[in-house]
Amino acid sequence: MSKVEKIKHFNASGIGTSNSNIFGLPFTTEEAELVIIPFPWEVTVSYSAGTANGPQAIFDASKQIDLYDPYIKHAWKLGISMEEVSQIWLEKSAELRSKAETYIEMFAKDENPETNMVMKSKQNEINNSCADFNRWVKERSLKHLHNNKLVVGLGGDHSTPLGLIQALAEKHESFAILQLDAHCDLRNAYEGFEFSHASIMYNALKITAVSKLVQVGIRDYCEDEVSFIEQSNGRIKTFYDRQIKGLLYKGSNMEEIFQIIVRELPQKVYLSFDIDALDPKLCPNTGTPVAGGLEFEQALFLIQLVVESGRQIISFDLNEVAPATNNDWDANVAGRLLYRICNLMALSNGKFKDPK
């Protein structure tokens, strides 16, 4: 059955069947205009684990999501599909995570990999494997980008989209990163891991095509990161959660504040969304939750304003979703967020003629 025939026979008000793709949709990756690549990887997480299982949990929870989007009529017809979760990388992540935990325990006891050969061996193995994973992500991303697909990365921890950003740099001469996050992620090789989840933006800024980093919702950071921001000559613009809330308390409204943020962005934007940007009541099992943050609709409203400004969201990632063992709340929230952002990104790329 062709994509046109699938659209004709698909009941968008029905239930997601067991053999359907993400969101209960019937599309293959070949038919879809937007492809989601799962990144089942969490080797360097420094607090609590579980994010490697995020992509599968979100996929499973997505079957319960209603497809009607009041902002974009018939958005589901775009065609969204998710690749299967790579069991090879999932198993490799679990294997290396165990070694990383041993390393981190030694690190916390003031052991040094430069003098401890056991630590050095584990550090090298983890750094090399993370580099291999980044290459795999880049190759998968380029495959779909070369086929003119919109590409979305679904983590996993926040280290995972580096390969996707590198792939985009081969397709786009210049773009900014809009980072929604509780953390700056600007640490240089945090805990000795070059590709740490706490170093993703430090590493992304090594890519010359990344012209600017605009951070929103930041509320947990160290002095070195603040110095790095201040010395960036404007390449990094950070909107701390406390500043945003302060403006609200003094009488500004959210649209006024968000428009200031949007004006900091160039025409092309890559969105990096760490689920801990949200108030932790919405994502309590994420690896490093922090009090404060954005509400669900506030985050989506900011992204909507980016699209309404005429800017193009060239790609995005959603990461740090750690499913609970006794419910699917985190995955449910993430799945609904994922669907709405997919639609907004497609709109910004001219995939819908009429957004209403």
Helix or strand holding residue 101 (H, E) = helix 87-108
Dump strand ranges (E) for 186-225.
Answer: 210-218
What is the model's pLDDT at position 237? 98
d(CA 79, CA 148): 13
What is the model's pLDDT at position 324? 87
Helix axes 241-249 and 254-263, enclosed angle (nearest 10): 140
Asked if pLDDT for residue 326 goes beyond 70, the answer is yes
pLDDT tens column, 70-126: 999 899 999 999 999 999 999 999 999 999 999 989 988 999 999 999 999 999 999
- Asked if 315 contacts 142 with a C-beta cutoff of 8 angstroms, the reply is no
- Write down the pTM of the prediction: 0.96
Stretch 162-190: mean pLDDT, rounded? 97
Q: Give bridge partners of residue 214 from the DSSP assignment.
A: 178, 237
d(CA 102, CA 96): 10
What is the model's pLDDT at position 354? 53
Residues 6+ apart with CB under 8 A from 349: 150, 312, 313, 314
Radius of gyration of the chain measured on its C-alpha atoms? 20
**Residue whose C-alpha is closest to residue 201's, from 274, 128, 266, 129:** 274
What is the model's pLDDT at position 355? 44
Stretch 33-50: mean pLDDT, rounded? 90
Q: What is the mean pLDDT of the chain?
A: 95
pLDDT tens column, 8-37: 999 999 987 778 999 999 999 999 999 999
Amino acid at 183: H
Stretch 139-145: mean pLDDT, rounded? 98
d(CA 289, CA 320): 10
C-beta neighbour count of 37 within 10 angstroms: 25
Amino acid at 299: A
User: Domain 3-348 classified CATH 3.40.800.10?
Assistant: yes
**65-103 burial code (b ≥16 CB/10 A, e <16):** bebebeebeebbbbbbbbbebbeebbebbbebbebbeeb
Asked if pLDDT for residue 255 goes beyond 60, the answer is yes
Query: Band of the pLDDT at 356, cuts 50, 70, 90?
Result: very low
Asked if pLDDT for residue 62 goes beyond 90, the answer is yes
Asked if pLDDT for residue 225 goes beyond 70, the answer is yes
Q: Which one has a higher pLDDT value, 49 or 268?
A: 268
Residues 6+ apart with CB under 8 A from 35: 29, 80, 81, 82, 83, 144, 149, 150, 151, 152
Q: Which one has a higher pLDDT value, 270 or 1?
A: 270
Stretch 268-293: mean pLDDT, rounded? 96
